[in-house]
Amino acid sequence: MLSRIKNQSGFVFVEFAIALPLIILLVYGLANVGIKIFELGRNQLADYVLEEEAHYLMERITHQARAAKGIEAINALNKVKIFYRTSDEGNTALTIDDVRETQWFITHQKKGSSARNLYAKRQDDGVYLNPITGDNSFGETTLVNLKFSELNENVLHITLELKSLVTDRTIKLSTAVYMSSCEEKSGLPHE
Chain segment 115-159, per-residue pLDDT in tens: 888 888 888 787 888 888 877 778 889 999 999 988 888 888 999
* Structural domain for 176, as ranges: 35-186
Name the residue with higher pLDDT: 187 or 102: 102
- Is the residue at 18 inside a domain? no
- Is the residue at 13 inside a domain? no
Q: Answer whether 61's CB lies under 8 Å from 158's CB.
A: yes
- Is the residue at 191 inside a domain? no
pLDDT reported for residue 6? 53
112 — pLDDT class (breaks 50, 70, 90):
confident
pTM of the model: 0.76
- Give tens-digit pLDDT for 61-89: 998 888 888 888 888 888 888 887 665 55
- Is the residue at 2 inside a domain? no
Q: Answer whether 113's CB lies under 8 Å from 119's CB.
A: no
Q: Report which secondary-structure segment, H or E, holds 85.
A: strand 79-86
Number of structural domains (the chain) is 1
pLDDT reported for residue 94? 56
| Cα–Cα distance, 183 to 185 (Å, whole number) | 7
* CA R_g for the chain: 30
- Is the residue at 112 inside a domain? yes
- Is the residue at 124 inside a domain? yes
pLDDT exceeds cutoff 80 at 53: yes
* CA nearest neighbour of 161 among 138, 180, 135, 142: 142
Average pLDDT score over the chain: 83
